[in-house]
Amino acid sequence: MGLFDRFERGPLRLNRIEAFSDGVFAIIVTLLVLELKVPSIPDHHGVSELGRQLVELLPKFLSWLISFVIVCKFWLNHHPILGLARHANYALVWLNSLFLMGQSFIPFPTALMGEYAGNPLAVSAFGVVMAVNTVLFIVLHAYILRHLIKPALADAQDPDIIRKSFIGVRSYLVGAAAAWTSVHAAFVVYLLTPLFFIVPVTRRDVAESGLA
């Protein structure tokens, strides 16, 4: 008991956790562009050759764009979640670090899908990683709701919010499965999933989506 009491007080401040998280998010979205390598062509002045090479980079541009939107969406939803907590404890910090670990991994599957856009394994792996990231986010959210929610906000929470959040998990897994039939379908699912969550889910959205 004394140990847990210590967790709930002490020098942990929510604002440094936010600063650390914002830093990690900002670096991830900016690092993604490093995977867009300038093509190498022998004739430096060849316009049509360079144009052809740039067109071949299209899957990489698309992977970059999808991951950028997804990470921005996670960043955006991370705000109100942390805002629900009345203070930070060690459990929160580690669940948040685990979530950020998942986020910071995203450049790898992004590069993999960009490089092997026609390979079902690469495209499917992207969806699985995003599903895992969504689960890590849900775990963080659920922990705060159960243990750290500000009393004043407790009643305003949608009691089904956690169950609804699994729509994202299922959607990414649908994309991951679709990749084995059509990589194009998977790309479409990956792009649409974060767009669906661009604003916080309301009951009506979920009802209309037919996914719940």
Q: Could you tell me the smallest distance in angstroms from the CB atom of residue 60 to its own copies?
A: 10
Q: How far is the CB of 131 from its own copies (least distance, A)?
A: 17
**Pair of tokens at residue 44:** 């430096």
- The closest alpha carbon to 61, from 1, 122, 110, belongs to 110
Q: Min. distance of Cβ 71 from its own copies in angstroms?
A: 9
Closest CB to its own copies among 1 and 170?
1
Pair 17, 88: CB distance under 8 Å: yes
Task: Report d(CA 143, CA 147) in Å as an integer.
Answer: 6
C-alpha to C-alpha distance for 169 and 138, rounded to whole angstroms: 10
Looking at beta carbons only, is 10 or 188 nearer to its own copies? 10
Q: Quick one: 112 or 178, whose CB is closer to its own copies? A: 112
Binding site for its own copies (CB under 8 A): 3, 6-7, 10-13, 16, 18-20, 22-34, 36, 38, 44-47, 50-51, 54, 64-65, 68-69, 72, 75-76, 79-80, 83, 90, 93-94, 97, 100-101, 104-105, 107-108, 111-112, 115-116, 118-122, 125, 198-200, 202
What separation in angstroms does the CA of 89 have from each of 10, 119, 136? 8, 43, 17
The two structure tokens encoding residue 169: 């998990």
Nearer CB in complex with its own copies: 111/138:
111
Residue closer to its own copies by CB (options 69, 139) is 69
Q: Phi/psi of residue 41, each to 5°?
A: -125, 145
> In angstroms, what CA-CA distances link 36 with 42, 58, 60, 117, 127?
19, 10, 7, 14, 20
Please tell me the distance from the alpha carbon of residue 94 to that of residue 101, in angstroms, as a whole number: 10
Strand, helix or coil at 182? Answer: coil
Min dist. Cβ of residue 26 to its own copies (A): 3
Task: Report the nearest approach of its own copies to the CB of residue 170 (Å).
Answer: 23
Measured from the CB atom, the residue of 188 and 198 that comes closer to its own copies is 198
Provide, rounded to whole angstroms, the least separation between the CB of residue 210 and its own copies.
19
